[in-house]
Structure 1
Amino acid sequence: MRRVLIYGGTGGIGRATADALRHRGFCLHLAARDRSRLDAAAAELGETTVTAGDVTDPDFFAQATAEAGDALAGLVYAVGTINLRPLARLTRADAEADFRINALGAFSAIQAAAGALKAGAGEAGAGVVLFSTVAVAQGFPAHASVAMAKGAVEGLALSLAAELAPHVRINVVAPSLTRTPLAAAITGNATLAQGIAAMHALQRLGTPEDIAGLAAFLVSAEAGWITGQIIGADGGRSMLRTKG
């Protein structure tokens, strides 16, 4: 059975993507920090194995890839940060941590899995999905650190999509604000969430399922002629003005 390696598959967009991929018939290997949550997710999903570790540990990626198997049909790096602070309150350590988790983690995940992805590519190629943010295309105050890190993710994806073709396809999904545990500090404030929702043409915030369907499609053979793309799943925020 075709196997997909998912980093961060125990909650939020990563878990929703795991659900969507299982629905499409993939078996999974989840890699995340919390062993108890990994085991619970694996039990619920079925046909799922796990590796516990931290993406800030350089050795974690080789371990996760080795335990996932010699051939992979896809890889999803759904680990990220939301560090929203104005420039005056950002430290070098903040920026380095955001870059390490978002960009360097994605780089390390693909580098470790490149051989297995090529081996499991099939006619449609293995599908890799990374995640960016609408804040790369739109300039938002207090987003300097995360937008810088996610901008690097987009550049990484384009470069590796060219380098690893035709065996590996790499695409990026760029969401707007989504109701995930990571964004709970924002979405949990009803007034703030309502105000941000009104900035979207579709007048609501995203859900993990909104993003996961696109991610699972991009992994699958149905997206066999799509690579090197940055695709917004953002309620229209990156391209459309609201009517108000």
Structure 2
Amino acid sequence: MKTIIVIGGSKGIGKALISSLLSSYDNIVNISRTEPAISGGNITHYSCDILTDDLPDIESADGLVYCPGSINLKPINRLSIEDFQDDFNLNVIGAVKAIQKYLPALKKGNNPSIVLFSTVAAKLGMPFHASVAASKSAVEGLTKSLGAELAPTVRVNAIAPTVTNTELASKLLRNDSMIEKMNERHPLKKILQPEEVADMAKFLLSDKASSLSGQIFEMDCGIVSFKL
């Protein structure tokens, strides 16, 4: 019986991931503030705020995915120190808290894997991304450091998506014109759908990715990789 813990599986990529995992895993544990609108007998939900609440005890797990993130886009002179602290707490400290809590359970698992999330803004300089890029760059450093520290027992990888069509990115995709312009910015003339990112996370959790650790996978639709 395989158990996957998803932190923040009620919306966006996390919800898409849970939907994708339903057919492949015996037990999916979702930890988030709200329950996902997904039916399935193998989902256990715990209502929890990752930053303020105690996390539930789980005896054994084969995978951990930390999905919470932020898109706090402001000019540097409008970003407060609290903005930087809030983004860092959600993106980095929350992930560290989850990993520290569930590492003993993961070490009991079968080919256990941790999946974190970065952003293309950690590689590609973008105006107004100072806070989120700083915190997600820390996630990338955490991924590589823990990948080395936990080898060969636990694999650790991160996905760095470009703009993904989720509620979190709704301000960037408010209308058809904005969506078209965002598509045009990418060499592949598209942005990501949450299901695409979820499929990558599912792959990294699986035994098919047993040789991968400490890697940052840029799902960028070409915006970082190509100059056309």
TM range (shorter): over 0.9
Aligned twin of 1:33: 33
Identity across the alignment (%): 39
**What's the offset of the Cα at 1:201?**
1.6
SS in 1 for 2:187: coil
Aligned twin of 2:191: 205
User: Where in structure 2 are the equivalents of 1:179-198 lying within 5 Å?
Assistant: 179-198=165-184
Matched, 1:135 2:130: no
**What's the offset of the Cα at 1:46?**
2.6
Contact 1:210-1:233 at 8 Å conserved across structures: no
2: CA distance between counterparts of 1:239 and 1:155? 20
Which of 132, 152, 167 is residue 166 of structure 1 equivalent to?
Answer: 152
Aligned twin of 1:3: 3
Matched, 1:53 2:48: yes
Matched, 1:80 2:80: no
Aligned twin of 1:14: 14
| 1:196 partner letter | M
**What's the offset of the Cα at 1:73?**
0.5
1: CA distance between counterparts of 2:103 and 2:66? 14
String of CA shifts for 1:159-196, please: whole Å, max 9, x gaps: 11111111110000000000001111111232222112
**What's the offset of the Cα at 1:45?**
3.0
**What's the offset of the Cα at 1:24?**
2.3
Which of 80, 105, 111 is residue 100 of structure 2 equivalent to?
Answer: 111
Q: TM-score, normalised by structure 1?
A: 0.90
2: CA distance between counterparts of 1:45 and 1:201? 38
Q: TM-score, normalised by structure 2?
A: 0.96
2: CA distance between counterparts of 1:209 and 1:55? 24
Which 5+ residue runs of structure 1 have no aligned equivalent?
A: none
Contact 2:3-2:25 at 8 Å conserved across structures: no
2: CA distance between counterparts of 1:15 and 1:26? 17
**What's the offset of the Cα at 1:72?**
0.4
Which 5+ residue runs of structure 2 have no aligned equivalent?
A: none
2: CA distance between counterparts of 1:129 and 1:10? 17
| 1:52 partner letter | S
2: CA distance between counterparts of 1:85 and 1:92? 12
SS in 1 for 2:131: helix
2: CA distance between counterparts of 1:151 and 1:45? 35
**What's the offset of the Cα at 1:25?**
2.8
SS in 1 for 2:125: coil
Aligned twin of 1:101: 90
String of CA shifts for 1:120-158, please: whole Å, max 9, x gaps: 1x2xx2011000000000000000000000000010111
2: CA distance between counterparts of 1:75 and 1:25? 13
Aligned-pair Cα RMSD in Å? 1.2
1: CA distance between counterparts of 2:69 and 2:210? 26
2: CA distance between counterparts of 1:180 and 1:212? 12
**What's the offset of the Cα at 1:26?**
4.2
Contact 2:140-2:216 at 8 Å conserved across structures: yes
String of CA shifts for 1:65-94, please: whole Å, max 9, x gaps: x1xx31101000000111000101100010
SS in 2 for 1:231: strand
Q: 1:28 to 1:204 in 2, by over 3 A?
A: same
Contact 2:4-2:25 at 8 Å conserved across structures: no
Aligned twin of 2:133: 147
| 1:186 partner letter | L
Aligned pairs, number: 228
